[in-house]
Amino acid sequence: MNVRLFVAVEITEEIRKKLAAFQDELKRVDADAGWVAPENLHITVKFIGVLDEEKMGAVTAIIKDAVAHIKPFDLQFRGVGTFPTEKNPRVVFADVIDTGRVLAKVHERLDNQFMALSVKREDRKFDAHLTVGRIKTRRNVKRLLEHLNSYQGFDFGSEHVTQVVLMKSDLLPDGPVYTKLQSVDLI
């Protein structure tokens, strides 16, 4: 059986509540966007994709190896933005400030090691962020961007990261459902 997987960092309930309030503000603009359910908010470190469930042991071993010798670290959640550009926004995100570039280091290790399981390397440079919504059409995008500008530099909080998690993603008509399969502690 196949499973759709990714490696993530979960966020604290306090940050989740601030991000949900931020989403509620943006929803008032009535842009045509799909907002990430608050319980699904996370930082994706590496999207693995669809793999055979029989490879789960190898997946876990790769994750453990990738975070070996990575000590717990701190992240700040400050500011907002859009991808790929402000002129053509498709993703609304909260910025993740990782001063030690620890997430980028873990991503690079995972990217390299998952090639052994025929997982493609990422085409684009890793940029730590927290996706809060995806823009579907141009309806009210200008108003949405104006509203976003009022959140430049907004401090959503900070977090002490002590683990990464392997998540399963089931794509359902009502939106994705994420299930934590395994936690890997940083030591």
Q: Which residues are catalytic?
A: 42, 129
For residues 62 and 30, the answer to whether their CB atoms sit within 8 Å is no
Evaluated on CA atoms 24, 25, 26, 27, the torsion sign reads positive
Per DSSP (E only), the strands in the chain are 2-10, 33-35, 42-52, 73-84, 89-97, 129-135, 155-161, 163-172, 175-185
User: How far apart, in whole angstroms, are the C-alpha atoms of residue 172 and residue 176?
Assistant: 6
Structure tokens at 39: 């319980």
Structure tokens at 121: 């390397």
User: How far apart, in whole angstroms, are the C-alpha atoms of residue 1 and residue 182?
Assistant: 18
DSSP state of 17: H
Exposure string for 84-95, b = 16+ CB within 10 A, e = fewer: eeeeebeebbbb
| Nearest in space to 102 (alpha carbons), one of 136, 62, 78, 67 | 67
